Structures are given as C-alpha cells and as structure tokens.
C-alpha cells in the first residue's frame, strides 16, 4: 500500500494527538478524565412522571437532594423554616447543576406545584431571595405510580 505524503503527514499528526490524549486513557484504552465524572443520572420514571426530559431532570435532582440521604445517612437539606426542611435552589444553581434555564425552571416549578408534588416559597438564603422547595405526599404517590406503571410509547 502506497501512502501519499499528505496521508503520512495526517497520520503523524493524528498519532501525535493520540499520544497527547493517551494520558486520559486507562489500561483498557477507555477515555477517562474529570469530565467523565461530571454526569447526571436520569431514570425513565422521572421523564414519564414529568412528561419531558427537562422536567425529568429537575425531578431527579429534587429527589437526589431531598430523598436520598448523605453517605452518613443524614438528610442533605440544611434549611429549616416554618417547621419543615426545604431545598434552596437559585436559578444559577439549577443552571450549574443540570443546565436548566431560568424559563425552564420557572415553568417546571409551576407545573410541579400545580400537580401538587411540591410547595415553593421565596425566602432569603445567603442574603438573597431564593426559591425553596418542599415535597408533598402526592409526589411519592405519583413516583410510585411512574415506577409500577411505566409510560407507554406515545402514539
């Protein structure tokens, strides 16, 4: 097989790039770097429950912060007001965590509140007005239904 000079140069360039990337490969040649751990888990039940991927992502994050205990078995919530624990999240927090825009956050919180799954209140957090979220019992009922009776393919 005869290779042209251009082809050889391209192969050399790619070989050099690969060598610079090899520090990101494990012993099996799989890509590994910090960005690979920067991920979110989105289960189909959250999408089914919310009706779309953005809503499913928000529900997954709300469940992560409110329902799943820390490694020490304690709640991750630190805001205690009006006799309840609340999740405090600004629009910037939602963007940084899961890339939901301000409009998406407002739409989804209003939808979830209308469904009776959450209660929201704007209260001060770290000196700024921040949306606080609290789960309602109907959330758990809807979640159980989404798990036991998963959504059908839309026609």
Q: What is the pTM of this model?
A: 0.73
**pLDDT tens track of the chain, all 155 residues?**
555 666 777 777 777 666 665 555 666 656 565 555 678 888 888 999 999 999 999 999 999 999 888 888 888 988 999 999 999 999 999 999 999 999 999 999 999 999 999 999 999 999 999 999 999 988 888 888 778 777 765 54
Structural domains for the chain: 38-148 (1.10.10)
**Burial of residue 87, with CB atoms counted within 10 A of its CB: 0-12 exposed, 13-18 middle, 19 or more buried:** buried
Cα–Cα distances in Å, from 44 out to 10, 36, 93, 139, 142? 43, 21, 23, 16, 14
Task: Check: CB of residue 132 under 8 Å from CB of residue 120.
Answer: yes
Distance CA 45, CA 138 (A): 15
Query: Within 13 Å of residue 138, how many CA atoms lie on the same side as its CB?
Result: 9
Helix (H) or strand (E) holding 102: helix 102-114
């Amino acid at each position: 097989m005869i290779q042209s000079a251009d082809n050889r140069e391209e192969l050399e360039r790619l070989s050099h790039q690969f060598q610079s990337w090899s520090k990101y490969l494990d012993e099996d040649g799989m890509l590994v770097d910090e960005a690979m751990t920067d991920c979110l888990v989105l289960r189909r039940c959250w999408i089914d429950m919310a009706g779309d991927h953005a809503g499913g992502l928000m529900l997954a994050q709300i469940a992560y912060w409110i329902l799943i205990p820390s490694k020490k078995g304690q709640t991750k919530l630190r805001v205690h007001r009006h006799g309840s624990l609340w999740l405090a999240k600004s629009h910037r927090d939602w963007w940084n965590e899961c890339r939901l825009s301000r409009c998406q956050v407002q739409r989804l919180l209003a939808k979830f509140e209308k469904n009776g799954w959450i209660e929201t209140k704007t209260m001060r957090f770290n000196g700024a007005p921040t949306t606080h979220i609290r789960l309602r019992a109907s959330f758990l009922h809807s979640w159980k239904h989404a798990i036991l009776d998963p959504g059908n393919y839309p026609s």
